[in-house]
């Protein structure tokens, strides 16, 4: 790749420094604007990675290196790899072709089905997301009441086994949506809640037994009640959100409840905040739910939630659409959210929600060197051209099939 | 009365009597019982016509016909006299929209989906075209509904078989009880039609625009039928008989009123348009149609809005409609639109009369209301010689009320139809009403107080204590019962009867009877009238019933007054000209009379509204080549593989909130495309987003006609769950559909030239001929290179050019061929992988096409993305490194070019339309927000105004909600309401 300027010999501007411990695998990114992911920005900063880990990050180098690859990121922006939650990349290749669908299992209570098993690292979609800086993804099962179990995966890997970042980190539940309070609708909702109540009671009982008769579905719920695994509750409207939180906090306070979708979270932020529920906000590039809503309500929601003190990640549902994740953060920033906070919502906050913030999510010492360098502001499509990507310290080839096709036809037409 | 007159009357009398016997023609079982139907009702207040009430008059009826009416009518001794007792007599109403007595015969009931019609025989090809129907063939007296109509005041109805688009003829019938032979006033009195295909299960038409197309084609076919000699069609034969009758056209909302009116004008027919009660929301446009209306009084119930989250399901338009619906008729009348009223949509007589009075309270003049129920419908049916008023020689159709009709407590007690009385409410001649001094040993000094209520008598007894009295009257026998003492469970029971009557006041002055006490003893009972009992008048504390204003459109973010063009001067803006000047900094742009009038530095601000645009960016507005917003009831007419006859322009929904939302994203115009489910779809409409204007004013005047074609998986129906059997199922078949269509079109064109009279005009082929003659242009939904090539070959061989390939995700593979063909490309920025045919879509597609010299645009196909097209254009910079100017043109000038509107819009140039957007930042950056969107120099969106509208919308909602809560507390019936959201259509819907 002609972009990457390797300096494999002794780096001339480090040469005069003495007492350094030289290592072959050291890579230094210099002069870039470093967006740490935790809200901080380091202008003209420097970041050092060794053996796949970040070893230094700051204004200046605190220790020195005899040999290192140096990347001059002057004028460029350095970010942690983006984490895409709440999507079906790798489980769905072509929307209209059923044979390529691996996200919706038959039945209503499926906590035992695991998304990582079907996660196809050879998906043609994954490289297009990677191309835009998405290094990690949380493929989630859909459908039914309990859809299944999700895992955190890398968007690049030889196979799912290698791509796992965190296996079976949470279970997904769809809270019964009640469209309005017509009696027949409310009855339908109550039936759904009764079904959930029953299942959780059985599962809880199961988890308390030392030698239960094996039941795959109930067994999969172990870990939920202790808060070891996340319980992702998908609910969008205000009433469902209130009902779901009330249900779980009253019955199972130890459950780590994550609210997913949460379009109307801004209407009921107190109950979310006071119960320390974290939120994975669904796609904000959507139309308002009601005609009476502000025309840009979905764009405003992240900024409003931040002001109300709710912790949230941003997510883009679907599969091929996930490559636009950064622009959701960009829109959120344009409509009232601090830009670094917007970045946090697709980096550090998702990492925290999934309990991997010791490894990924920000550019801090000791974390995996999973890094993006962008030509300009990553959250703005106009300038978000990715310059380089590192996954665990290794640079990735950004050429996906779309780029190859592009180049092929540029060549055909002899244009540049 | 002089002698001659008396003889004449006598003669007529016997003649009609004789006639009555001869007429029956039915075998009689026993001696006939034909009565001398000669009746006078005297001492009655007669509303002879809407303007005139004659007090204390007499009406003389002979055999169902009014003989005389007036204050000094000499009643011949042959006539039976009925004392009208100061009551009120009105001419019977006529209901022009009814299915009274008509049941759909099972032979007409449909039997599942079909490509061709179910009705076998020499009839029209479509099951929704029921021109062969004459409702009279199915008319039967209906006992239950007869009562309803008579109790509502209706003596006759125009009864139709209310099913289908063309519903054949309607019969004018009486609502009273008799042999059907005697109930028919006019067997074929009107034609009826609607936009609703009813129970027809035939696939075509599936969309609103398909219905309009079918209406047009049917009219053309009916005309052609009379010129040809090759076929017999019973539907058209019948139509020939009935077509000169007036036509009632039922529609579902105010925009459909305009739609029906438009069709009427095209074919020179003035319909009687039966609306749905929301006409006030588009009153000016409806008045301009100049077509009469039939209005229902179907006011919405109170909505259940107690729970705030749930109440969000109710739109502002629905809330306001609840408040304003009763004003509709009054507002229509104020515009001098001729109208009639119908009871259709009211659950029963009570609701109809209640709503009629509500309409009068809300501004409808009583005279106008009566006119709309009597004279007006009679005139339209050319029945004014027989019906509509109390006049000598007219049919004796009238009803009698205890009080003036518009009084809240008025009840229709009896209804006379053709001189025959139906008693609706049993009313005794003398009424027991007022305060009566009771003589009862066990209850000395008691007063019995009796009030007349709708549902009977209500009574109380005052004395030692106050007690509710249960009271009943049955044919002169009164029964009272009340508790012996307040705390007791024992009842005193009384039977009583009138012993003194007052023939002036029709009051029972004295009662006598016998009381049975709980201990088994009997006592004598008398009660003597002492005074009038006046009910405490319910004074409405909120004396002034304030109601909101009509907003345009009638939905959130509508305007109380329509915005007008202003002369603006944008000072010191960064201007993206899209012209050779490129992007210029710190420039002024002046607009006047809707056009860009000057561009330069330091322009004079005199007579301009100055907008400080320093640090801001001014661009021409975004144009979306591929949009499906603002389309009513169906974006696809999928039912046939070629539906060139359907037109989006017939079904523009100017109330779609997505118009406003697009404006907030800087969009000023769009092409409303038909969907993509058939190779030849419908004709598109090119509109400017003039938020608040009606459908016709949205259209860009004189814009070229366009049409949607489509290729690939959608037209093959590849992704449908089951094989449909509709041709084509392969890309091979798609090509054949086109060849067939254009070969037929050529033959048709030739036939039209050689034999215009005998050639059946075909709207589908007309559109294709327009394409061949470069008068209509194709925007073709397309994905893969094979099909793109195919259509260009078809076009070349048929002698026309494809104007635009839309979607065109593999355009980059055949960009050279497209350039050679001269076709434009309108594509997505980065959509792919949603179906098999887009797996090789790349986000650099637009860049390659652009670089190859193909005019290239980025479009939305999506109401949400439509308002972020600036961001979609910006992606081209990321993926293909093109210049900002080139990227910007992809959503402005380039789509203008492909829609042939670039002479008037698409760039900032003196003389062009002032279709401008002021942005807070570089419009291609994600930070950019629209501050103002101008269309033709009119500001239809500003961020400032938007905030004002948001808060005023909320206030208006809350005001009405409070009013509803109060109304519900007062006992009004309520219902749960979920407003239908504006549909979010895509190609494939």
Percent of chain B with pLDDT over 90: 80
Contact B312 A334 (CB under 8 A): no
What is the rounded distance in angstroms from the CA atom of residue B761 to the CA atom of residue B783?
34
State yes or no: pLDDT of B19 exceeds 90: no
Q: Does residue B311 sit at the A interface (CB-CB below 8 Å)?
A: no
CB A288 within 8 A of CB A294: yes
- Backbone CA torsion sign across A269, A271, A272, A275: positive
> Residue range B220-249: average pLDDT?
96
Q: Is the pTM of this model over 0.90?
A: yes
> Residue range B252-258: average pLDDT?
98
On chain B, the residues whose CB falls within 8 A of the CB of A182 are: 976, 978
State yes or no: pLDDT of A19 exceeds 60: no
State yes or no: pLDDT of B884 exceeds 50: yes
State yes or no: pLDDT of A12 exceeds 60: no
Kindly indicate whether the domain formed by A1-80+361-416 is annotated with CATH number 2.30.40.10. yes
Q: Does residue A331 sit at the B interface (CB-CB below 8 Å)?
A: yes
Task: Select the residue of B555, B815, B978 nearest A291 (Cβ to Cβ).
Answer: B555
> Residue range A261-269: average pLDDT?
97
Residue written as tokens 């489509």? B710
User: Cα distance from A409 to chain B (closest Cα, Å)?
Assistant: 7
State yes or no: pLDDT of B830 exceeds 70: yes
Indicate the average pLDDT of chain B.
Answer: 93
User: Cα distance from B982 to chain A (closest Cα, Å)?
Assistant: 8
Task: Select the residue of B316, B842, B871 nearest A381 (Cβ to Cβ).
Answer: B871
pLDDT at B6: 52
Question: What stretch of H or E contains B820?
Answer: helix B815-821
State yes or no: pLDDT of A10 exceeds 50: no
On chain B, the residues whose CB falls within 8 A of the CB of A3 are: none
Q: Does residue A254 sit at the B interface (CB-CB below 8 Å)?
A: no
pLDDT at B110: 66
Question: What stretch of H or E contains B847?
Answer: helix B845-851
Q: How confident is the model at residue B957 (pLDDT cuts 50, 70, 90)?
A: very high
On chain A, the residues whose CB falls within 8 A of the CB of B843 are: 402
State yes or no: pLDDT of A254 exceeds 70: yes
What is the rounded distance in angstroms from the CA atom of residue A79 to the CA atom of residue A372?
5
Q: How confident is the model at residue A7 (pLDDT cuts 50, 70, 90)?
A: very low
> Residue range B858-865: average pLDDT?
96
User: Cα distance from B712 to chain A (closest Cα, Å)?
Assistant: 13
Interface of B with A in 823-842 (CB under 8 A): 830-836, 839-840, 842
Interface of B with A in 651-670 (CB under 8 A): 657-658, 660-661, 664
Judged by DSSP in three states, A206 sits in helix
Per-domain residue ranges for chain A? 1-80+361-416, 82-360
State yes or no: pLDDT of B253 exceeds 80: yes
- DSSP string over A27-43: EEEEEEEEE-SSS-EEE
State yes or no: pLDDT of B60 exceeds 60: yes
pLDDT at B723: 67
> Residue range B951-955: average pLDDT?
95
What is the rounded distance in angstroms from the CA atom of residue A166 to the CA atom of residue A169?
6
What is the rounded distance in angstroms from the CA atom of residue B79 to the CA atom of residue B574?
93
Kindly indicate whether the domain formed by B622-905 is annotated with CATH number 3.20.20.140. yes
pLDDT at B34: 80
Q: Which of A97, A267, A282, A295 to mutate: most B Cβ within 10 Å?
A: A295
Interface of A with B in 145-204 (CB under 8 A): 179-182
* CA-derived radius of gyration, chain A: 23
State yes or no: pLDDT of A18 exceeds 60: no
pLDDT at A3: 42
Least confident of A183-192, B400-409, B524-533, B812-821: B524-533
On chain A, the residues whose CB falls within 8 A of the CB of B878 are: 381-385
User: Cα distance from A85 to chain B (closest Cα, Å)?
Assistant: 19
Q: Which residue of B has its CA nearest to A298?
A: B864
pLDDT at B23: 52
> Residue range B327-351: average pLDDT?
97
State yes or no: pLDDT of B420 exceeds 70: yes
Q: Which residue of A has its CA nearest to B810?
A: A405
> Residue range B187-212: average pLDDT?
96
Judged by DSSP in three states, B853 sits in coil
Residue written as tokens 């007419």? B637
State yes or no: pLDDT of A25 exceeds 70: yes
Interface of B with A in 676-695 (CB under 8 A): none
Which pair of tokens denotes residue B953? 């919308």
> Residue range B583-601: average pLDDT?
97
What is the rounded distance in angstroms from the CA atom of residue B830 to the CA atom of residue B832?
6
Q: Does residue A333 sit at the B interface (CB-CB below 8 Å)?
A: yes
Q: Which residue of A has its CA nearest to B717?
A: A96
Q: Which residues contact B980 (CB under 8 A, 6 or more apart)?
A: none
What is the rounded distance in angstroms from the CA atom of residue B356 to the CA atom of residue B325?
12
B3-25+33-86: CATH, from 3.30.70, 1.10.150, 2.30.40, 3.90.1570:
2.30.40
CB A224 within 8 A of CB A231: yes
What is the rounded distance in angstroms from the CA atom of residue B782 to the CA atom of residue B612?
44
**pLDDT digits over B765-809, tens only?**
999 999 999 999 999 999 999 999 999 999 999 999 999 999 999
Indicate the average pLDDT of chain A.
Answer: 93
What is the rounded distance in angstroms from the CA atom of residue B812 to the CA atom of residue B842?
9
On chain B, the residues whose CB falls within 8 A of the CB of A380 are: 874, 925-927
Q: Does residue B640 sit at the A interface (CB-CB below 8 Å)?
A: no
CB A359 within 8 A of CB A367: yes
- Backbone CA torsion sign across B754, B760, B762, B765: negative
Contact B719 A333 (CB under 8 A): no
User: Cα distance from B617 to chain A (closest Cα, Å)?
Assistant: 16
CB A171 within 8 A of CB A148: yes
State yes or no: pLDDT of B608 exceeds 60: yes
**pLDDT digits over B353-386, tens only?**
999 999 999 999 999 999 999 999 999 999 999 9
Backbone φ and ψ for B56, nearest 5 degrees, come out as 55, 40
Interface of B with A in 531-570 (CB under 8 A): 555-557
Q: Does residue B982 sit at the A interface (CB-CB below 8 Å)?
A: yes
> Residue range A72-98: average pLDDT?
97
> Residue range B951-978: average pLDDT?
94
What is the rounded distance in angstroms from the CA atom of residue B276 to the CA atom of residue B148?
21
* Better-scored residue on pLDDT, A67 or A164: A164
What is the rounded distance in angstroms from the CA atom of residue B973 to the CA atom of residue B965?
11
Q: Which of B825, B880, B927 to mutate: most A Cβ within 10 Å?
A: B927
CB B547 within 8 A of CB B576: no
**By C-alpha distance, which of B433, B375, B373 is closest to B406?**
B373
Per-domain residue ranges for chain B? 3-25+33-86, 93-385, 434-531, 622-905
Interface of A with B in 363-402 (CB under 8 A): 379-385, 402
**CATH architecture, domain B434-531:** Beta Barrel (2.40)
Structural fold of domain B93-385: TIM Barrel (3.20.20)
ipTM surpasses 0.90: yes
Contact B313 A180 (CB under 8 A): yes
Q: Does residue A99 sit at the B interface (CB-CB below 8 Å)?
A: no
What is the rounded distance in angstroms from the CA atom of residue B182 to the CA atom of residue B829?
71
pLDDT at B112: 63
Structural fold of domain A82-360: TIM Barrel (3.20.20)
Q: How confident is the model at residue A9 (pLDDT cuts 50, 70, 90)?
A: very low
On chain A, the residues whose CB falls within 8 A of the CB of B315 are: 290-292
User: Cα distance from B723 to chain A (closest Cα, Å)?
Assistant: 15
On chain B, the residues whose CB falls within 8 A of the CB of A291 are: 315-317, 555-556, 657, 979, 981-982
CB B831 within 8 A of CB B775: no
Do B93-385 and B622-905 have matching folds? Answer: yes
Long-range contact list for B887-892, CB < 8 A, 24+ apart? B887/B924, B888/B576, B888/B578, B888/B619, B888/B923, B888/B924, B889/B578, B890/B846, B890/B850, B890/B856, B890/B857, B890/B858, B891/B622, B891/B623, B891/B624, B891/B857, B891/B858, B892/B578, B892/B619, B892/B620, B892/B621, B892/B622, B892/B623
CB B235 within 8 A of CB B123: yes
What is the rounded distance in angstroms from the CA atom of residue B156 to the CA atom of residue B96?
9
Q: Does residue B610 sit at the A interface (CB-CB below 8 Å)?
A: no
State yes or no: pLDDT of B51 exceeds 90: yes
Contact B309 A238 (CB under 8 A): yes
Contact B816 A409 (CB under 8 A): no
> Residue range B467-488: average pLDDT?
86
3-state secondary structure B547-571: CCCCCECCCCCCECCCCCECCEEEE
């Amino acid at each position: 790749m002609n972009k990457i300027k390797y300096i494999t010999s002794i780096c001339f501007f480090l040469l005069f420094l003495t007492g350094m411990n030289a290592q072959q695998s050291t890579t230094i990114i210099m002069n870039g604007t470093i967006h740490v992911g935790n809200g901080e920005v380091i202008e003209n900063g420097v970041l050092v990675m060794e053996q796949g880990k970040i070893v230094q990050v700051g204004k200046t180098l605190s220790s020195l290196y005899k040999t290192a690859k140096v990347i001059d990121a002057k004028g460029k922006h350095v970010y942690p790899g983006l984490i895409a939650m709440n999507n079906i990349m790798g489980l769905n290749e072509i929307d209209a072709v059923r044979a390529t669908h691996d996200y919706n299992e038959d039945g209503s209570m499926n906590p035992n089905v695991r998304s990582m098993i079907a996660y196809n690292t050879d998906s043609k979609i994954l490289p297009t997301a990677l191309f835009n800086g998405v290094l990690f993804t949380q493929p989630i099962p859909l459908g039914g009441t309990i859809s299944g179990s999700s895992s955190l995966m890398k968007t690049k890997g030889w196979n799912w086994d290698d791509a796992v970042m965190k296996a079976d980190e949470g279970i997904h539940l769809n809270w019964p949506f009640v469209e309005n309070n017509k009696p027949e609708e409310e009855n339908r909702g109550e039936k759904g809640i009764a079904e959930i109540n029953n299942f959780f009671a059985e599962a809880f009982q199961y988890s308390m037994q030392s030698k239960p008769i094996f039941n795959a579905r109930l067994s999969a719920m172990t870990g939920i009640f202790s808060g070891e695994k996340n319980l992702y509750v998908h609910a969008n409207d205000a009433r469902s959100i209130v009902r779901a939180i009330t249900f779980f906090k009253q019955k199972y306070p130890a459950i780590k409840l994550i609210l997913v979708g949460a379009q109307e979270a801004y209407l009921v932020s107190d109950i979310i905040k006071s119960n320390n529920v974290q939120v994975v906000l669904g796609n904000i590039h959507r139309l308002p739910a009601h005609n009476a809503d502000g025309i840009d309500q979905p764009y405003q929601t992240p900024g409003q939630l931040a002001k109300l003190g709710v912790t949230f990640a941003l997510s883009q549902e679907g599969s091929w659409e996930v490559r636009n994740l950064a622009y959701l953060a960009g829109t959120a920033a344009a409509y009232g959210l601090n830009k670094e906070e917007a970045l946090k919502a697709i980096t550090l906050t998702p990492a925290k929600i999934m309990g991997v913030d010791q490894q990924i999510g920000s550019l801090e010492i000791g974390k995996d060197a999973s890094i993006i360098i962008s030509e300009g502001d990553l959250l703005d499509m106009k300038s978000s051209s990715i310059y380089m990507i590192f996954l665990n310290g290794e640079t990735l080839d950004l050429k996906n099939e779309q780029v190859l096709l592009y180049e092929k036809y540029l060549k055909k037409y002899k244009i540049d | 009365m002089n002698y001659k007159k008396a003889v004449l009357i006598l003669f007529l009398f016997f003649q009609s009597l004789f006639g009555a016997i001869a007429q029956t023609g039915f075998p009689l079982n026993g001696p006939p019982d034909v009565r001398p139907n000669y009746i006078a009702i005297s001492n009655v207040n007669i509303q002879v016509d809407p303007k005139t009430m004659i007090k204390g008059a007499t009406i003389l009826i002979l055999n169902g016909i009014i003989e005389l009416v007036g204050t000094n009518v000499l009643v011949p001794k042959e006539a039976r006299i009925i004392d009208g007792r100061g009551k009120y007599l009105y001419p019977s109403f006529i209901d022009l929209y009814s299915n009274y007595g008509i049941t759909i015969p099972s032979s007409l009931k449909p039997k599942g989906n079909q490509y061709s019609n179910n009705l076998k025989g020499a009839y029209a090809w479509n099951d929704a075209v029921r021109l062969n129907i004459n409702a009279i063939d199915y008319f039967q007296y209906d006992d239950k509904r007869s009562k309803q109509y008579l109790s509502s005041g209706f003596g006759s109805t125009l009864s139709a078989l209310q099913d289908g688009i063309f519903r054949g003829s309607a019969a004018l019938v009486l609502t009273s009880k008799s042999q059907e032979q005697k109930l028919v006033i006019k067997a074929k009195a009107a034609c009826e039609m609607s936009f609703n295909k009813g129970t027809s299960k035939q696939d075509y038409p599936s969309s609103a625009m398909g219905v309009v197309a079918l209406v047009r084609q049917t009219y053309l076919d009916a005309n052609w039928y009379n010129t040809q000699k090759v076929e017999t069609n019973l539907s058209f034969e019948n139509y020939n008989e009935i077509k000169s009758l007036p036509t009632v056209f039922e529609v579902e909302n105010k925009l459909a009123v305009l739609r029906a009116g438009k069709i009427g004008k095209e074919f020179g027919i003035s319909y009687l348009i039966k609306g749905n009660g929301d006409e006030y929301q588009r009153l000016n446009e409806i008045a301009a149609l100049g077509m009469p209306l039939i209005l229902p009084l179907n006011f919405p119930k109170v909505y259940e809005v107690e729970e705030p989250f749930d109440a969000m399901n109710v739109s502002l338009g629905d809330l306001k409609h609840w408040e304003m619906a009763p004003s509709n008729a009054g507002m229509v009348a104020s515009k001098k639109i001729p109208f009639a009223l119908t009871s259709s949509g009211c659950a029963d007589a009570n609701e109809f009369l209640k709503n009629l009075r509500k309409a009068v309270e809300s501004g409808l003049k009583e005279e106008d209301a009566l006119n709309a129920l009597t004279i007006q419908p009679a005139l339209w049916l050319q029945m004014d010689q027989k019906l509509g008023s109390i006049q000598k020689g007219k049919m004796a159709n009238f009803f009698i009320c205890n009080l003036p009709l518009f009084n809240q407590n008025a009840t229709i007690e009896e209804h006379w139809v053709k001189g025959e009385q139906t008693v609706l409410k049993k009313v005794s001649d003398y009424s027991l009403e007022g305060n009566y001094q009771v003589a009862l040993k066990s209850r000395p000094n008691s007063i019995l107080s009796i009030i007349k209520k709708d549902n009977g008598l209500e009574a109380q007894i005052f004395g030692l204590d106050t007690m509710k009295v249960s009271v009943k009257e049955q044919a002169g026998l009164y029964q009272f019962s009340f508790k012996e003492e307040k705390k007791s469970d024992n009842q005193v029971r009384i039977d009583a009867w009138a012993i003194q009557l007052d023939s002036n006041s029709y009051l029972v002055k004295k009662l006598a009877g016998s009381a049975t006490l709980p201990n088994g003893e009997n006592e004598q009972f008398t009660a003597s009238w002492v005074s009038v009992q006046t009910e405490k008048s319910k004074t409405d504390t909120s004396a002034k019933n304030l109601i909101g204003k009509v907003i345009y459109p009638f939905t959130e973010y509508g305007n109380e007054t329509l915005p007008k063009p202003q002369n603006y001067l944008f000072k010191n803006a960064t201007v993206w000209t899209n012209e050779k000047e490129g992007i210029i900094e710190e420039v002024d742009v002046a607009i006047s009379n809707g056009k860009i009038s000057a561009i330069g530095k330091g322009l004079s601000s005199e007579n301009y509204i100055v907008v400080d645009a320093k640090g801001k960016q001014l661009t021409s507005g975004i144009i979306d080549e591929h949009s499906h917003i603002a389309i009513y009831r169906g974006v696809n007419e999928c039912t046939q593989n070629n539906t060139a006859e359907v037109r989006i322009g017939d079904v523009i929904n100017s109330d779609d909130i997505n118009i406003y939302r697009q404006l907030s994203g800087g969009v000023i115009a769009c092409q409303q495309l038909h969907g993509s489910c058939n190779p030849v779809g419908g004709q598109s409409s090119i509109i400017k987003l003039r938020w608040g204007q009606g459908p016709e004013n949205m259209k860009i005047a004189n814009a070229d006609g366009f049409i949607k074609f489509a290729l690939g998986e959608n037209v093959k129906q590849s992704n449908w769950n089951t094989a449909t059997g509709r041709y084509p199922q392969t890309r091979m078949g798609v090509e054949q559909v086109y060849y067939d269509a254009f070969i037929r079109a050529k033959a048709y064109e030739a036939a039209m030239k050689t034999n215009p009279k005998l050639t059946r005009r075909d709207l589908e082929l007309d559109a294709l001929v327009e394409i061949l003659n470069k008068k209509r242009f194709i925007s073709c939904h397309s994905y893969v290179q094979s099909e793109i090539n195919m259509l260009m070959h078809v076009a070349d061989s048929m002698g026309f050019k494809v104007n635009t390939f839309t979607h065109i995700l593999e355009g980059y593979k055949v960009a050279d061929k497209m350039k050679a063909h001269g076709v434009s490309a309108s594509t997505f920025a980065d959509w792919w992988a949603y179906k098999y045919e887009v797996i090789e879509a790349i986000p650099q597609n637009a860049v390659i096409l652009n670089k190859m010299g193909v005019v290239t645009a980025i479009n939305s196909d999506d109401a949400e993305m439509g308002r972020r097209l600036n961001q979609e254009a910006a992606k081209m910079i990321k993926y293909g490194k093109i210049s900002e100017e080139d990227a910007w043109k992809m959503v402005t000038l380039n789509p203008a070019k492909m829609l042939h509107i670039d002479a008037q819009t698409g760039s900032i140039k003196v003389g062009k339309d002032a279709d401008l957007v002021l942005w807070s930042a570089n419009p291609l950056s994600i930070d950019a927000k629209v501050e103002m969107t101008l269309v033709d120099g009119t500001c239809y969106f500003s961020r400032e105004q938007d905030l004002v509208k948001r808060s005023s919308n909320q206030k208006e909602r809350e005001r009405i909600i409070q009013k509803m809560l109060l109304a519900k507390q007062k006992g009004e019936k309520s219902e749960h309401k979920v407003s239908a959201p504006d549909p979010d259509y895509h190609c494939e819907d």
